Amino acid sequence: MFPIETELAACAKTVEERLAALLPDADPETALISQAMRYAALGGGKRIRPYLTFAFAKVSGGDNACALDLGCALEMIHAYSLVHDDLPAMDNDVLRRGKPTCHVAYGEANAILAGDGLLTRAFGVVANAPASDAIRCRATAELADAAGYAGMVGGQTLDILTEGKPVAKETLIKLQHLKTGALIRAACRLGCMCGGTFDGALYDAAGNYADKIGLAFQVIDDILDGVGDPALLGKSVGKDEKSGKTTWLSLLGETGARAYAATLTREAINAVTPYDQDGRLASFAAFLLERNK
Ligand code: GRG
């Protein structure tokens, strides 16, 4: 069996070290914001997005240093989205990754600025990544689309607009495809790009795999919010039910939702089988399906 947990842990350590180097303390007068950025981006998280970039860079014959910096840019955007999502104006959460959320620790205005700082720093990292101009340019466009109004921001908008209203299955798929899936798809595609793959069968298979694991990831996220252990998750649970949100748990029940996630995982694995010689991508998809945090 592929040692997915060992490799994921090694990747998380490398990402942590590189993120710390890419997010130095700045001018002492504004150090409060660089500290808030480091607080949000360092010291936690599964680092699944950089892992996907690393895994697809391997498949496409790409360079590890390129994958690492593009993966760190993804983590900065992910961290920004969590900081802003936790704000009182959005989800109003006080716990994230087992510690007080950024606005609780640093105040609301500083948390907004820290999120803004992480988002912009991510694009600076891509611009300076150890890669060709073509890779850096395509990666910038991919990240902008994935993070922006046609991706994550659009998904968050739909989430807010549908709050407290019944949501059809198709709308839920669209919402989650944008909110969570777009960044996961970018992670896989950026890995392909590291090896100079910008289109073709592998690129399409990566997108397909990403879409399936992205949705399965969200189905499991919904289940964990309903029946997960807050101590393991490092965040509060039960928010979806309390706010009357339509989720995979409310639509399908736990058994149905788990079966749906398992089907999506099988489809994801099938999409990349021709490229997954050592079973890394299959093991990762299975790991996401079985996760409890
Ligand atoms: C504020 C523009 C803006 C967007 C926010 C991604 C997002 C949109 C909000 C996050 C809220 C949330 C809990 C979404 C569910 C899926 C998700 C992104 C979970 C957290 O990702 P993990 O499990 O977290 O990869 P770690 O902590 O492991 O990095």
CA 139 distance to own-chain centroid: 16
- Name the domain count of the chain: 1
Q: What is the pLDDT of residues 220-242, one digit of tens each?
A: 999 999 989 898 998 888 888 88
Distance 179 CA to ligand 1 centre (A): 8
The pLDDT value recorded for residue 88 is 98
Domain of residue 28: give its range. 4-290
By C-alpha distance, which of 57, 4, 11 is closest to 188? 57
Task: Specify which residues 96 forms β-bridges with.
Answer: 99
Q: What is the pLDDT of residues 145-176, one digit of tens each?
A: 999 999 999 999 999 999 889 899 999 999 99
Which atom in ligand 1 lies closest to the alpha carbon of residue 183?
A: 6
Q: Under DSSP, is residue 116 helix (H, G, I), strand (E, B) or coil?
A: helix
Mean pLDDT to the nearest integer, 51-66: 97
Task: Compute the mean pLDDT over every residue in the chain, rounded to the nearest whole number.
Answer: 96
Distance CA 87, CA 112 (A): 8
For 249-261, letters b (16+ CB in 10 Å) and e give bbbbeeeebbebb
Nearest CA to ligand 1 atom 20: 82
Mean pLDDT to the nearest integer, 93-102: 96
Which atom in ligand 1 lies closest to the alpha carbon of residue 97?
A: 27
Mean pLDDT to the nearest integer, 124-139: 98
Is the distance from CB of 190 to CB of 139 less than 8 angstroms? yes
Ligand 1, pocket-test mutation among 15, 81, 175, 289, most atoms within 8 A of CB: 81
Q: What is the pLDDT of residues 188-216, one digit of tens each?
A: 999 999 999 999 999 999 999 999 999 99
Query: With bands split at pLDDT 50, 70 and 90, how would you rate the model's confidence at 24?
Result: confident
The pLDDT value recorded for residue 92 is 95
Residue 105, domain CATH? 1.10.600.10
The pLDDT value recorded for residue 255 is 97
Q: What is the pLDDT of residues 261-278, one digit of tens each?
A: 999 999 999 999 999 999
Strand (E) or helix (H) holding 96? strand 95-96
- Give percent of the chain above pLDDT 90: 89
- Give percent of the chain above pLDDT 70: 100
**Helix ranges (DSSP H) in the chain:** 4-22, 31-41, 48-60, 64-86, 102-106, 108-127, 133-147, 152-161, 169-176, 182-194, 201-227, 230-233, 239-242, 248-272, 280-290
The pLDDT value recorded for residue 40 is 98
The pLDDT value recorded for residue 56 is 98
pLDDT greater than 90 at residue 123:
yes
Mean pLDDT to the nearest integer, 31-59: 97
Distance 129 CA to ligand 1 centre (A): 25
Burial of 86 (0-12, 13-18, 19+ CB in 10 A): buried
At 207, list the tokens: 């997108």
Is the distance from CB of 199 to CB of 41 less than 8 angstroms? no
Which atom in ligand 1 lies closest to the alpha carbon of residue 83?
A: 1
Look at 243 and 173; give whichever has higher pLDDT: 173
Which atom in ligand 1 lies closest to the alpha carbon of residue 84?
A: 1
Q: Which residues form ligand 1's pocket by a CB distance below 6 Å?
A: 45-46, 48, 78, 81-82, 84-85, 97, 152-153, 156, 179-180, 218, 221
Distance 209 CA to ligand 1 centre (A): 19
Q: Under DSSP, is residue 100 helix (H, G, I), strand (E, B) or coil?
A: strand
The pLDDT value recorded for residue 236 is 82
Q: What is the pLDDT of residues 3-14, one digit of tens each?
A: 999 999 999 999
Query: With bands split at pLDDT 50, 70 and 90, how would you rate the model's confidence at 26?
Result: confident
DSSP 99: E
Quote the pTM value.
0.96
At 184, list the tokens: 């996961």
Is the distance from CB of 177 to CB of 154 less than 8 angstroms? no
